[in-house]
Structure 1
């Protein structure tokens, strides 16, 4: 079996490269479909994080995203200006502010999620045979192992 310079099999190295390319392209395509054009990827990510957690501080969000607090502050200011998030005092510590979604923010996340899922399901239905869709499902089951510690 051929080994690449990193000591990995050629098939593992190629699969890693090809998977990264395909996932990146798919993410960009799904983002286009969702209509996220008016938000930056950082804004979409922060909005999604706030939606998952219910309420968060700016520093918690910055840490989760791996960005500086100043960068997160700019991202949150843009989301607040669009009416997608609101800031309010933390009931446990009045010095901190909690960021939560507005109704418009919740609608945006849910609408984007539905648009992405509908596009992807339709694309899979139209572009693949039943056997190919089963192969995709089998591949996804294998890829799921990568998500485990």
Structure 2
């Protein structure tokens, strides 16, 4: 494995992301969804159906914990299990319309809280955040691949 050289800028970016993550957690309204449940539903919303065995690692939980979470989401009507058309032994998880609505409510609450803060920024700093969005999306895509 190749050793990556960490620069002072890398460390500053990491610290900034950490502070921003904490900010988003504080701004996110408390809801019926845990962080892992919300993240799993967002993944299903964004990327489509996944095999159950593919969901635990990206969320940083064990496969039994993910199975329990999907069971709860299914009971709440937020996700649905089905058979994999390519392998009938495998379970595929899909987000339901109610799951999409739960994700949207959570996102809307966070957006409203963040918008109030964004209004307080100088125009140049707001523009800098907007300009950084493509790079943030690309960074996220690198981890997903």
Same fold (TM over 0.5): yes
| Correspondence for 1:3 | none
Task: Please report how far the alpha carbon of residue 137 of structure 1 lies from its aligned counterpart in structure 2 after TM superposition.
Answer: 4.3
| Correspondence for 1:15 | 12
Q: Distance in 1 between matches of 2:44 and 2:126?
A: 33
CA RMSD, 1 decimal: 2.9
How does the TM-score come out when normalised to structure 1?
A: 0.72
Q: Distance in 2 between matches of 1:54 and 1:13?
A: 32
| Correspondence for 1:45 | 39
Question: In structure 1, the residue corresponding to 2:50 is in which secondary structure?
Answer: coil
| Correspondence for 2:72 | 78
Equivalent in 93, 100, 106 of residue 99 of structure 1: 93
How does the TM-score come out when normalised to structure 2?
A: 0.73
Q: Distance in 1 between matches of 2:58 and 2:47?
A: 11
Question: In structure 2, the residue corresponding to 1:88 is in which secondary structure?
Answer: strand
Counterparts of 1:109-128 in structure 2 under 5 Å?
Answer: 109-125=103-119, 127-128=120-121
Larger-gyration structure (1/2): 1
Conserved 8 A contact 1:46-1:75: no
Aligned length: 137
Task: Please report how far the alpha carbon of residue 120 of structure 1 lies from its aligned counterpart in structure 2 after TM superposition.
Answer: 1.9
| Correspondence for 2:124 | 131
**What residue ranges of structure 2 are gaps of 5+ in the alignment?**
none
